């Protein structure tokens, strides 16, 4: 029997006197605005147990409740695409996503995505919001991800992300030599002029917090470990560029490759030829949605990123003896 979608949330004071459809979109961000409007019109989304119109105003303290059957993820077809599965049970699936794989279908990538692969592996995930996806990695970012296989898991993992109890650690290679780690606490949003890019926005941005520590200094580069409190689009890439340490291989936020003076031919070729941003999701920690057990997963560095680090080790060595830090 298919699990029903049953959710509820109280209207906070900052949403007082807004339209029902606008409030619903903010309280239930994992569902599209059109789907929420359909549920309102069908009576599957109620306000204090009563059916209202999408344009009706709702006030602080009212309770929105949803009780409905899940719908098929329209247009998302199963495709036999290899998955590197780290862990799987009835509720969650942890995978190692390769660079170059888009997470879910969108404009420009209608298929051939991680979601298409997941639907072929576990067809029941088609009944879940976004095919079970609860967080994303950029197309050219590699590494570990968790997806939900049950509605219970989806709702619980979304809550863990909102409560910031899911631990995500990344490995990144930056241009420039950092003196130490730190925290970037700068709000982010869509770039005001270049809509495909994100940017630090003092006005109108959403909270974004990135913690980073130095793990290896090279002559002209730095390897860092990054932990996220929030999960904004392109967050690490934007925050590191904001600190003037953009990621190697990231033309969107770092411009053309920066070649150190006196670099060897091998180093020049490696920096110019590195095909993507040097960013890998190395570790993930969460609480199991059903048992509450704390679970931690790791995945190794991919070949291309390890190759970059090997070249930096030999062709861009640091002069100081404390180049490796922990």
Looking at residue 224, its pLDDT comes to 98
- Quickly state the pLDDT bin for 322 (edges 50, 70, 90): low
- Quickly state the pLDDT bin for 321 (edges 50, 70, 90): very low
Looking at residue 100, its pLDDT comes to 96
What percentage of the chain has pLDDT greater than the value 70? 95
Cβ neighbour number for residue 288 with a 10 Å cutoff: 15
Going by DSSP bridges, is the β-strand pair 18-19/85-88 parallel, antiparallel, or unpaired?
A: unpaired
User: Residue 325 above 70 pLDDT?
Assistant: no
Average pLDDT over residues 284-309: 97
Looking at residue 193, its pLDDT comes to 86
User: Residue 131 above 70 pLDDT?
Assistant: yes
Of the CATH numbers 2.160.10.10, 3.30.2350.10, 2.60.40.3500, 3.40.50.1370, which one belongs to the domain with range 85-163?
A: 3.30.2350.10
Looking at residue 217, its pLDDT comes to 97
Looking at residue 130, its pLDDT comes to 85
CATH fold of 5-68, please?
3.10.290
> What mean pLDDT is reported for the chain?
92
Cβ neighbour number for residue 135 with a 10 Å cutoff: 17
204 vs 102: which has the higher pLDDT: 102
Q: Angle of helix 33-42 relative to helix 20-27, nearest 10 degrees?
A: 120
Is 138 one of the annotated active-site residues of the chain? yes
Phi-psi region of 131 (alpha: psi -120 to 50; beta: other; left: phi over 0): left
User: Residue 266 above 90 pLDDT?
Assistant: yes
Q: List phi, psi (to 5°) of 272.
A: -75, -30
Q: 167-315 — its CATH code?
A: 3.30.2350.10
Reference 98, options 120, 111, 87, 113; nearest CA is 113
CA distances from 33 to 73, 145, 250, 324 (A): 15, 26, 33, 49
* Contact partners, residue 38, CB within 8 Å, separation at least 6: none
Q: Global pTM?
A: 0.79
- Quickly state the pLDDT bin for 326 (edges 50, 70, 90): very low
Looking at residue 71, its pLDDT comes to 64
Average pLDDT over residues 147-165: 91
Looking at residue 1, its pLDDT comes to 45
| Residue in 48, 67, 82, 138 annotated catalytic | 138
User: Residue 179 above 80 pLDDT?
Assistant: yes
126 vs 141: which has the higher pLDDT: 141
**Strand stretches in 176-208, DSSP E:** 182-185, 188-190, 198-200
- Quickly state the pLDDT bin for 138 (edges 50, 70, 90): very high
Average pLDDT over residues 166-191: 96
pLDDT digits (tens, 9 = 90+) for 56-82: 999 999 999 999 877 655 568 899 999
| Three-state secondary-structure class, residue 306 | helix
* Contact partners, residue 42, CB within 8 Å, separation at least 6: 68
pLDDT digits (tens, 9 = 90+) for 222-249: 999 999 999 899 999 999 999 999 999 9
Dihedral over alpha carbons 137, 139, 145, 146 (to 10 degrees): 90
Write the burial class of residue 295 (CB in 10 Å: 0-12 exposed, 13-18 middle, 19+ buried): middle
User: Residue 52 above 50 pLDDT?
Assistant: yes
Domain with CATH 3.30.2350.10 in the chain: 85-163, 167-315
Average pLDDT over residues 268-287: 97
Looking at residue 64, its pLDDT comes to 96
- Quickly state the pLDDT bin for 186 (edges 50, 70, 90): very high
- Quickly state the pLDDT bin for 162 (edges 50, 70, 90): confident
């Amino acid at each position: 029997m298919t699990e029903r979608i049953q959710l509820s949330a109280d209207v906070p004071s900052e949403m007082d006197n807004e339209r029902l459809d606008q409030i619903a979109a903010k309280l239930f961000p994992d569902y599209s605005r059109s789907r929420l409007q359909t549920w309102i019109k069908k009576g599957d989304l109620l306000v204090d147990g009563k059916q209202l119109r999408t344009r009706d105003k709702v006030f602080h303290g009212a309770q929105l409740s949803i009780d409905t059957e899940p719908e098929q993820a329209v247009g998302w077809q199963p495709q036999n695409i290899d998955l590197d599965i780290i862990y799987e049970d009835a509720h969650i699936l942890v995978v190692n996503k390769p660079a170059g794989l888009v997470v879910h279908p969108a404009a420009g990538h209608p298929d051939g995505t991680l979601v298409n692969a997941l639907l072929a592996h576990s067809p029941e995930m088609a009944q879940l919001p976004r095919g079970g996806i609860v967080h994303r990695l950029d197309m050219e970012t590699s590494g570990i991800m968790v997806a939900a296989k049950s509605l219970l898991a989806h709702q619980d993992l979304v809550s863990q992300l909102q409560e910031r109890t899911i631990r995500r650690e990344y490995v990144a290679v930056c241009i420039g030599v950092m003196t130490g780690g730190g925290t970037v606490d700068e709000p982010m949003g869509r770039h005001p002029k270049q809509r495909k890019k994100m940017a630090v926005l003092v006005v109108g941005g959403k909270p974004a917090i990135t913690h980073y520590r130095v793990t290896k200094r090279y002559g002209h580069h730095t390897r860092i470990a990054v932990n996220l409190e929030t999960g904004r689009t392109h967050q690490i890439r934007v925050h590191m560029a904001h600190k003037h340490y953009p990621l190697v291989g990231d033309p969107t936020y770092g411009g053309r490759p920066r070649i150190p003076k006196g670099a060897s031919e091998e180093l020049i070729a490696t920096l110019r030829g590195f095909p993507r941003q040097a960013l890998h999701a190395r570790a993930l920690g969460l609480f199991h949605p059903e048992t509450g057990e704390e679970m931690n997963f790791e995945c190794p560095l991919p070949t291309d990123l390890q190759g970059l680090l090997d070249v930096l080790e030999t062709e861009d060595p640091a002069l100081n003896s404390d180049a490796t830090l922990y």
